[in-house]
Amino acid sequence: MFYFEKMRFIDVNSFYGNSYLCAITFSPFSLGMITLDSALNHTHIAFMQEALKEAHKAQDKGEVPIGAIVVCQNRIIARAHNLTETLQDPTAHAEMQAITSATHALGGKYLPDGTLYVTLEPCVMCAAALRWAQLGILVYGASDPKQGFMRIGTHLLHPKTEITSGVLEAPCSEMLTRFFARKR
């Protein structure tokens, strides 16, 4: 079995150099170390595919193709995609729409047991909103070195929020690349 030292944030692509998720979980045998868990990989991949479906909906509307879902207790409670052009609202990002929908579904303003799957690394605005929502887990596909919150740091998120990146990174990135290539 392969172990990594405990880390709060792991970019799985830096370990494997490919676009497939190698998720992390705590192993009862690792004594504080992290081991790869293929069942969690499949779960993350399945839910990220659902977020990609939302990104396709955004693309069909002429929006930047970013999709998001919120999962609680292994059940999707919110689906969303970018609506900034449709609503003429610069804050109508997929993550913001998903947070609003999820908190309404749960009847509260916090998501400590929620997992947000989003096809692109959240921007600073969305990361701050996720902090206020006290999101439990953030899973994103493609990194965004220009506008993503990681350029500032993980301190934008709630201190207890766990982060996994690089889930289905290639299809998430390719969708955005193709969209912007057509715009030019």
Q: What b/e string do you get for 11-47 counting C-beta neighbours within 10 Å, with b at 16 or more?
A: ebbeeeeebebbbbeeeeeeeeebebbeeebebbeeb
- The residue with tokens 């990135």 is 173
Q: What b/e string do you get for 112-147 counting C-beta neighbours within 10 Å, with b at 16 or more?
A: eebbbbbbbbbbebbbebbbebbbbbbbbbbbbeee
Q: Catalytic pick from 54, 63, 95, 169?
A: 95
Question: In whole angstroms, what is the distance from residue 155 CA to residue 163 CA?
Answer: 12
**Residue 95 is a catalytic residue:** yes
* Triad 177, 102, 178: Cα angle to 5°: 5
Q: Which residues are part of the catalytic machinery?
A: 95
